[in-house]
Amino acid sequence: MTAQILDGKALAKTMSRELAEQVAAFEQAHGWAPGIAVVQVGADPASSWYVKQINKSFTGVGMRFALHTLEADAQADALTGLIQQLNADPQTNGIIVQMPLPKHLPQSLVTDTLDPRKDVDGIHPINAGRLLQQSGDFYAPATPAGGMEILRRYGIDLKGKHAVMVGRSNIVGRPMALLMLHEHATVTICHSRTRDLQSITRQGDILVAAIGKAKMITADMIRPGAVVIDFGVNVVDDKLQGDVDTEAAMEVAGYITPVPGGTGPMTNVMLITNTLTAARRQVGE
């Protein structure tokens, strides 16, 4: 068996073309293009690289991008003041604050201050709560939303399937589990304290990895024919590797997202989607 590749890179290109048309229609109707504000505290190289990718993605579909930087030693009032300023700006439709913050700034500063209507990466408790309840308007975090969009676009139905989520972070594991539950999957969440992990992962019709450890999911942990979604981003010997041993898994799985080129390219596309949705809601569409 050789698994079918779930090509997130190609899908992201297709969706970017679709979004560019929608952005153009919005601008024609309202006289301005939707825009995102990114707040970066300090100059972490990985964070700076990601900011550049956001800029490229947003401007590529005709949306506005604004970067607001603070020094690494900035105090809490400087960060909250900037977020409040962006909350009040009608031309700022989405806001994201790059994580992690310097150690002296707790993430709660952001979640307590950010307007949930502009929280396009779904970190605010109101958005997280509505995602949990599947009720009202909310924004799901862009990374798991991208994984779900891959499944949807490739016609992989989750209804009645057993989905095993390995990882329980607030930004990927937990929201991904909820999103799969919303599609009527039976969901098991595994983590670092799970006993006999292999026996559980092999039960999964859908196996999702978001652990942060390169090649932790080996071929013998995968049910033959399973759909494998890999959110892992690990740099090993200057090469990007996922949480799944992709080469070995290809011989067991039915479908698999590669690293790179799988879930990664979809994150910014879903961030664009959420920001466009936020702009539409803010103008009453």
Q: What is the pLDDT of residue 131?
A: 97
Confidence grade of residue 165 (pLDDT, cut at 50, 70, 90): very high
31-116 and 142-263, same CATH topology: yes
Assigned CATH topology for domain 31-116: Rossmann fold (3.40.50)
What does the pLDDT look like over 219-230, one tens digit per residue?
999 999 999 999
Which pair of tokens denotes residue 43? 């100059």
Q: Is the pLDDT of residue 83 over 90?
A: yes
The percentage of residues in the chain with a pLDDT greater than 70, rounded to a whole number, is: 100
What is the pLDDT of the chain when averaged over all its residues? 96
Kindly report, residue by residue over 196-206, the tens digit of the pLDDT: 999 999 999 99
Distance CA 238, CA 221 (A): 26
pLDDT digits (tens, 9 = 90+) for 67-81: 999 999 999 999 999
Q: What pLDDT shows up at residue 198?
A: 97
Q: Which residues pair with 189 in a beta bridge?
A: 165
Give whole-number Cα distances, 149 to 8, 83, 126, 183, 246, in Å: 9, 30, 23, 12, 21
Three-state secondary structure call for residue 240: strand
Over residues 82-109, the mean pLDDT reads: 96
Residue 1: per-residue pLDDT: 67
More reliable by pLDDT, 146 or 239 = 146
Cα–Cα nearest to 250, from 227, 283, 282: 227
| Least confident residue range of 43-52, 88-97, 167-176 | 43-52
The CATH superfamily label for domain 142-263 reads NAD(P)-binding Rossmann-like Domain (3.40.50.720)
Given a cut of 70, whether residue 265 has pLDDT beyond it is: yes
Determine the average pLDDT of the residues in 116-143. 96
Q: What is the pTM of this model?
A: 0.94
- Look at residue 24 in the predicted model and tell me its pLDDT: 98
Q: Which long-range contacts (CB under 8 A, 24 or more apart) does 147-150 make?
A: 147/176, 147/208, 147/229, 147/231, 147/257, 147/263, 147/266, 148/176, 148/179, 148/180, 148/183, 149/11, 149/15, 149/266, 149/269, 149/270, 150/6, 150/8, 150/11, 150/229, 150/257, 150/262, 150/263, 150/266
Please report which confidence band the pLDDT of residue 46 belongs to, taking 50, 70 and 90 as the band edges. confident
Domain boundaries, the chain: 31-116, 142-263
- Mapped onto helix, strand or coil, the DSSP state of residue 33 is coil
pLDDT in tens, 19-45: 999 999 999 999 999 999 999 999 988
pLDDT at 49: 86
- Residue 133 above 70 pLDDT? yes
